[in-house]
Structure 1
Amino acid sequence: METLSTGVLFLILALLILLSSFFSSSETGMMSLNRYRLKHRARSGDKSAKRVYGMLKRPDKLLGLILLGNNIVNILASAIATVIAIRFWGEGGIFAATLMLTVVILIFAEVTPKTLAALYPEKISFFAAPILKFLSSIFHPAVKLIGFLANGLLRLFGINADSDHEDHLSQEELRTVVNEAGAMIPRRHQKMLLSILDLETVTVDDIMVPRNEIIGIDLTDDIGYIREQIRNSIHTRLLVFRNEIDEVEGFLHARNFGRVLEMESDSPEDILSYLDPIYYVPEGTPLHTQLMKFQRKRDRVGLVVDEYGDIEGLVALDDILEEIVGDFTTEMSSVNRDIQKDGDNVYLIDATVTIRDLNKTLHWDLPTEGPKTLNGLITEYLEAIPQSGTCLRLYGYPIEILQIKDNIVKSVRAMPELYKPPVDIQ
Structure 2
Amino acid sequence: MDDIPISALVIGLITCLLSSAFFSGAETAMMAINRYKLASKTRQGHHAAQRTQKLLNETEKLLSVILLGNTLINTGSATLSALISARLFAGNDAAVGISAILVAFAILVFSEATPKVIAATYPERFAFTASYPLTLLLRLFYPAVWFVNLFVAALLRLLRLHKPIGGQQALSPEELRMLVLESGKYIQKKHHAILLNLFELSNITVDDVMTPRHQIEMIDLATPEDELRRQLFTCHHSRLPVCAGSPDNVLGILQARKLLSLREDEVNADAVRRLMRSTYFIPSNTPLFMQLQNFQENKRRIGIVVDEYGELSGLVTLEDILEQIIGEFTTNAPQAGQRFEKQADGSYLLDGAASLRELNRKLKLAFPIDGPKTLNGLILEYFEDIPDSGTCLVLAGERLEIVQTQDRSIKMVRLYPRS
Q: Distance in 2 between matches of 1:151 and 1:199?
A: 44
Tell whether the 8 Å contact from 1:223 to 1:267 is kept in structure 2 after alignment. yes
Task: Indicate the residue corresponding to 1:108 in structure 2.
Answer: 110
Q: Distance in 2 between matches of 1:380 and 1:387?
A: 15
C-alpha deviation, 1:268, in angstroms: 2.5
Q: Relative to 1, partners in 2 of residues 1:110 and 1:266: Cα closer, same or farther, differing over 3 Å?
A: closer
Task: Indicate the residue corresponding to 1:323 in structure 2.
Answer: 324
- 2:19 matches 1:11: no
Tell whether the 8 Å contact from 1:60 to 1:161 is kept in structure 2 after alignment. no
1:223-372 alignment runs, 5 A limit: 223-260=225-262, 262-265=263-266, 267-329=268-330, 337-372=338-373
C-alpha deviation, 1:406, in angstroms: 1.7
C-alpha deviation, 1:88, in angstroms: 1.5
Q: Distance in 2 between matches of 1:50 and 1:344?
A: 62
C-alpha deviation, 1:330, in angstroms: 5.3
Deviation string, structure 1 residues 198-234 (Cα, Å, up to 9, x no partner) = 0100000000000100011111223333333333322
**Once structures 1 and 2 are overlaid, which stretch shifts more, 10-19 or 155-164?**
155-164
- 2:69 matches 1:72: no
C-alpha deviation, 1:417, in angstroms: 1.7
Deviation string, structure 1 residues 318-377 (Cα, Å, up to 9, x no partner) = 111110001112565999712111223201111011111111121100100000111110
Tell whether the 8 Å contact from 1:353 to 1:374 is kept in structure 2 after alignment. yes
Q: Distance in 2 between matches of 1:355 and 1:58?
A: 51
**Once structures 1 and 2 are overlaid, which stretch shifts more, 70-79 or 36-45?**
36-45
Task: Indicate the residue corresponding to 1:422 in structure 2.
Answer: none
Deviation string, structure 1 residues 127-165 (Cα, Å, up to 9, x no partner) = 111111111111111111111111211112211238433
1:25-36 alignment runs, 5 A limit: 25-36=25-36
Tell whether the 8 Å contact from 1:345 to 1:417 is kept in structure 2 after alignment. no
Tell whether the 8 Å contact from 1:86 to 1:94 is kept in structure 2 after alignment. yes
1:39-118 alignment runs, 5 A limit: 39-91=39-91, 92=93, 93-118=95-120
Secondary structure of 1:416 counterpart: coil
C-alpha deviation, 1:47, in angstroms: 2.1
Secondary structure of 1:387 counterpart: coil
C-alpha deviation, 1:178, in angstroms: 0.9
Q: Give the letter for the 1:146 counterpart.
A: V
Q: Give the letter for the 2:30 counterpart.
A: M
Q: Distance in 2 between matches of 1:335 and 1:63?
A: 65
Q: Relative to 1, partners in 2 of residues 1:242 and 1:331: Cα closer, same or farther, differing over 3 Å?
A: closer
Q: Distance in 1 between matches of 2:172 and 2:274?
A: 50
Taking structure 2 as the reference length, the TM-score comes to 0.95
Q: Distance in 1 between matches of 2:236 and 2:334?
A: 12
1:382-393 alignment runs, 5 A limit: 382-393=383-394
C-alpha deviation, 1:295, in angstroms: 0.5
C-alpha deviation, 1:266, in angstroms: 5.8
Q: Distance in 1 between matches of 2:399 and 2:163?
A: 59
Show structure 2 runs of 5+ residues with no match.
Answer: none
Q: Give the letter for the 1:83 counterpart.
A: L
- 2:228 matches 1:196: no
Identical residues among aligned pairs (%): 39
C-alpha deviation, 1:274, in angstroms: 0.8
Tell whether the 8 Å contact from 1:389 to 1:401 is kept in structure 2 after alignment. yes
Tell whether the 8 Å contact from 1:85 to 1:97 is kept in structure 2 after alignment. yes
- 2:405 matches 1:401: no
Tell whether the 8 Å contact from 2:280 to 2:303 is kept in structure 1 after alignment. yes
Q: Distance in 2 between matches of 1:243 and 1:335?
A: 23
Q: Give the letter for the 1:236 counterpart.
A: S
Task: Indicate the residue corresponding to 1:416 in structure 2.
Answer: 417
Show structure 1 runs of 5+ residues with no match.
Answer: 419-426
Tell whether the 8 Å contact from 2:229 to 2:268 is kept in structure 1 after alignment. no
Query: CA-atom RMSD, angstroms?
Result: 1.8
